[in-house]
Amino acid sequence: MVLEDNSVIRSYLVTIFYVVGSSLLGLVMNVLAGYVLSRQSKLRGTLMMLVLVSIMFNGGLIPTYMVVRALGLTGTPLAIIVPGCTNAMFMVMVMNGFLQVPIETVEAAQIDGAGHFQMMFQVMMPQARGLVLVTMINTALMAWNAWFEASIYVPRTKEWWPLQLVIRDFISRNQDFLNYANPDYNRYLIQYVVIVLATIPILLLMPFFIKKLEENMVLGAVKG
């Protein structure tokens, strides 16, 4: 039974860990990449080309798995957090947010002696927090719903299985239970309860973020 070893509770905590880790690491990477792409430099065109190519073409599952394995991350939570914490589209969205910051504000901060990190986190990021928030929300949603990556990178390390993978495993084991002479219908009830528990956080939190999410995604699309 899925509840006998507290696998649901453990996977709930693991999923929260993945969501928090991916959102925080993604925030740092998106802000750094967005700042670099928004600055006028000799390599800006080359960097933008690399980012756009990564949007249009994907290396695929096998090359990604080979890279993760070569880094020694397979079987660890970092295999879930690091590859999925950001993507090129999020970097471009943060870049658009930084480009909306008035140039006068940036020049005034430079005259006052602000360095790059001060410019990013104290001057530009507060004014672009809308699009930064959009990337964080989307990263959190993807991390919460992800199960395929865990099935690839941590298939035998069940203590690092997220909630969605535990649910999928439970459903797959329930598919043939009606073929038994005395099927235990409580398994179906437990399955539905676990699925409802997995949707509760999204149902509770999304109403607080949906308006901000829609406004800033439209804003980034229009002014980017």
Give the Cα separation of 31 and 97 in Å (integer).
Answer: 10
CB-based burial label for 175 (10 Å; 0-12, 13-18, 19+):
exposed
Give the Cα separation of 44 and 162 in Å (integer).
Answer: 38
52-95 confidence digits (pLDDT tens):
898 888 778 888 999 999 999 999 999 999 998 988 999 999 99
Domains of the chain in sequence order:
7-223 (1.10.3720.10)
Question: Nearest CA to 152 among 97, 73, 52?
Answer: 73
- C-beta separation of 15 from 144 below 8 A: yes
Q: Which of the residue ranges 80-84, 171-175, 220-224 would you say has the lowest mean pLDDT?
A: 220-224
Upper half-sphere CA count for residue 29 (Cβ side, 13 Å): 20
pLDDT of residue 104: 86
Q: Taking 60 as the threshold, does the pLDDT of residue 125 lie above it?
A: yes
**What pTM, to 2 d.p., does this model score?**
0.82
Confidence of residue 1 (pLDDT cuts 50, 70, 90): very low
Q: Taking 90 as the threshold, does the pLDDT of residue 113 lie above it?
A: no
